[in-house]
């Protein structure tokens, strides 16, 4: 039995970055990952650093203004953090912050961009509207169908294959114990904290005692919470990604669409990465969702995604598609992340959901502050599990 301060479940970006910030602050940390570091959504995603409010968040823009303002505030904190990340991690994560354009094709979409920009500007995010001519002079690769765009100078992208392993290395250098092949199978409250049992690659189980638990298990977070008889209402979502062959540098921005599912960028090696939230088919076992196997690719999603890309960036038509893949992430019903302590279970913290690549390092920094000092440098109450508190009030 090992005694530590914080046990982290999940070796994705949130877990590894949390391990780093906690260990750096002097906490005794053990991170338990059932497979390999970065095997979940953190290693499968599009790598977009999208600080503008995304297409999926603004479907009910007028009803959600207060939450959206908090999200934009978080974006400002995240921008500052991303600017320091390569120095902090001492490595090149192929990060680029060359700016991002969210494009519109119709008058309704332009109106939505304008309303969105007012919320973002009111919270100090540096965005500005461009008309069609300005957008194409900044980004000559855009098609004539683009009638306006919202430009955010800080947006960009980073290589998801490099970032999380870099955090894991720094966490280990700072004294955190990073244990892979360690599936957490039981979590119990004790008189003075928590006890976790984990299977080591099927070779028998081990136990660790911790003052606090951080559930950073991504799409596995609800199952990990259930081990402690808690509800965390996150739902698995399967998404599609596409990558084209390489080309000379042509697309210097992150390109998104305000009314269609599209994200497009040119990666460090020259390939175009195309995604934007197109569905894949989540596997089921005995009528229940399972995040253990890769979701199945849907041809309609690949075609729909490439059509949106080619409409906005016509040079896509001349490129060969190299590969399409799928990944599983987790969302809440209100699409906001879940960050904080579960009031009914003192010492039990959750950090999951939301746009967890863009915000993972920030979730991690804020959660390490919350766990070690009981407060955060930016308010996370709007993202607290307390908004679903009623669920845990009835757990026996």
Ligand X SMILES: Cc1cc2nc3c(=O)[nH]c(=O)nc-3n(C[C@H](O)[C@H](O)[C@H](O)COP(=O)(O)OP(=O)(O)OC[C@H]3O[C@@H](n4cnc5c(N)ncnc54)[C@H](O)[C@@H]3O)c2cc1C
User: Would you give the binding string for ligand X spanning residues 261-290, x where CB under 6 A is met?
Assistant: --------------x---------------
> Using the rule CB under 6 A, which residue among 184, 212, 342, 380 binds ligand X?
184
Question: According to the binding rule CB under 6 A, does residue 46 interact with ligand X?
Answer: yes
In this chain, which of 11, 100, 347, 385 binds ligand X, going by CB under 6 A? 11
Residues in Cβ contact with 19 at an 8 Å cutoff, skipping those fewer than 6 apart: 8, 29, 31, 167, 168, 171, 176, 178
CB nearer to ligand X: give 127 or 219.
Answer: 219
- Contact yes or no for 367/213 (Cβ under 8 A): no
For 206-232, what is the HEC assignment?
A: EEEEEEEEEECCHHHHHHHHHHCCCCC
Task: Give the residue with the Cβ less far from ligand X, 148 or 217.
Answer: 217
Closest CA to 95 of 106, 110, 84, 111: 84
Chain-centre distance for alpha carbon 334: 15
Say how far apart CA 93 and CA 216 lie, in whole Å: 22
Cα-flanking dihedrals φ and ψ of residue 57, to 5°? -85, -15
Give the CA angle between residues 167, 171, 177 to the nearest 5°. 130
Residue placing its CB nearer to ligand X in the complex, 110 or 222: 222
- Residue with Cβ nearer ligand X (110 or 357): 357
Q: Which of 27, 176, 183, 316 forms a contact with ligand X (CB under 6 A)?
A: 183
Alpha helix positions (H), the chain: 13-24, 41-44, 65-89, 107-122, 132-138, 160-173, 221-227, 299-312, 360-373, 389-393
Which residues 6+ apart lie within 8 Å of 247 measured at CB? 266, 270, 271, 272, 315, 319
Give the contact letters, 222-261, x = binds to ligand X (CB under 6 A), - = no: --x--------------x-x--------------------
Range in contact with ligand X (rule: CB under 6 A) among 72-80, 308-316, 322-330, 367-375: 322-330
Q: Rule CB under 6 A: is residue 352 a binding residue for ligand X?
A: yes
Residue of the chain from 19, 27, 48, 127 that contacts ligand X (CB under 6 A):
48
Total site size for ligand X, rule CB under 6 A: 40
Stretch that binds ligand X, among 34-42, 58-66, 118-126, 187-195 (CB under 6 A): 34-42
How far apart are alpha carbons 8 and 349 in whole angstroms? 9
Judged by CB under 6 A, the residue of 156, 222, 347, 356 near ligand X is: 356
Does the footprint of ligand X cover residue 162 (CB under 6 A)? no
Residue 18 near ligand X by CB under 6 A: no
Binding window for ligand X (CB under 6 A); candidates: 100-108, 219-227, 303-311, 340-348: 219-227
Region near ligand X per CB under 6 A, out of 138-146, 189-197, 324-332, 375-383 = 324-332
176 forms part of the interface with ligand X (CB under 6 A): no
Rounded to whole angstroms, what are the CA distances from 377 to 305, 362, 365, 369? 39, 11, 9, 8
CA 70 – CA 162 distance, rounded (Å): 29
Residue 295 engages ligand X in binding (rule: CB under 6 A) = no
165 binds ligand X (CB under 6 A): no
Closest by Cα among 339, 345, 344 to 369: 339
- Give CA separation, 52 vs 169, 232, 359, in Å: 30, 27, 12
CA distances from 30 to 18, 20, 168, 362 (A): 11, 11, 11, 20
The span of 5-13, 75-83, 281-289, 372-380 binding ligand X (CB under 6 A) equals: 5-13
Of the listed pieces 44-52, 58-66, 133-141, 377-385, which binds ligand X according to CB under 6 A? 44-52
* Binding of ligand X by 10 (CB under 6 A): yes
Tell me the three-class secondary structure of 332-350, residue by residue.
Answer: CCCCCCEEEECCCCCCEEE
Give the interface segment with ligand X, choosing from 96-104, 116-124, 327-335, 376-384 (CB under 6 A).
327-335
Residues in contact with ligand X by the rule CB under 6 A: 9-15, 32-35, 39-42, 44-48, 183-184, 216-220, 224, 239, 241, 275, 327-329, 352, 355-358, 360
């Amino acid at each position: 039995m090992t005694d530590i301060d914080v046990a982290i479940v999940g070796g994705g970006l949130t877990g590894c970055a949390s391990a780093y910030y906690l260990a750096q602050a002097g906490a005794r940390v053990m991170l338990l990952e059932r497979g390999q570091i970065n095997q979940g959504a953190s290693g499968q995603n599009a790598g977009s650093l999208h600080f503008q409010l995304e297409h999926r968040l603004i479907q009910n823009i007028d009803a959600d203004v207060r939450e959206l303002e908090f999200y934009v505030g978080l974006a400002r904190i995240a921008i500052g953090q991303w600017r320091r990340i390569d120095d902090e991690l001492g490595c090149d994560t192929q990060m680029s912050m060359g700016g991002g354009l969210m494009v519109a094709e119709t008058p309704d979409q332009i109106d939505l961009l304008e309303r969105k920009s007012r919320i973002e500007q009111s919270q100090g995010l540096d965005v500005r509207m461009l008309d069609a001519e300005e957008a194409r002079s900044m980004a000559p690769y855009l098609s004539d169908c683009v009638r306006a765009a919202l430009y955010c100078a800080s947006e960009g992208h980073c290589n998801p294959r490099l970032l999380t392993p870099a955090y894991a290395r720094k966490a280990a250098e700072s004294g955190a114990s990073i244990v892979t092949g360690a599936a957490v199978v039981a979590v119990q409250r004790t008189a003075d904290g928590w006890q976790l049992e984990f299977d080591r690659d099927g070779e028998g189980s081990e136990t660790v005692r911790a003052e606090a638990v951080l559930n950073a298990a991504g799409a596995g977070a609800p199952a990990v919470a259930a081990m402690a008889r808690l509800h965390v209402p996150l739902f698995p979502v399967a998404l599609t990604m596409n990558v084209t062959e390489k080309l000379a540098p042509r697309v210097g921005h992150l390109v998104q669409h305000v009314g269609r599912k599209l994200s497009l960028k040119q990666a460090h090696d020259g390939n175009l990465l195309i995604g934007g939230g197109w569905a894949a088919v989540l596997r089921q076992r005995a009528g229940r969702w399972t995040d253990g196997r890769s979701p199945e690719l849907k041809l309609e999603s690949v075609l729909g995604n490439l059509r949106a890309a080619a409409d906005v960036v016509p040079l896509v038509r001349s490129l060969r598609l190299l590969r399409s893949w799928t990944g599983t992430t987790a969302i809440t019903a209100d699409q906001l992340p879940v960050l904080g302590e579960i009031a009914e279970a003192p010492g039990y913290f959750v950090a999951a959901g939301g746009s967890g690549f863009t915000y993972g390092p920030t979730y991690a920094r804020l959660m390490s502050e919350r766990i070690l000092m009981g407060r955060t440098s930016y308010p996370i109450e709007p993202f607290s599990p307390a908004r679903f508190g009623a669920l845990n009030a009835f757990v026996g």
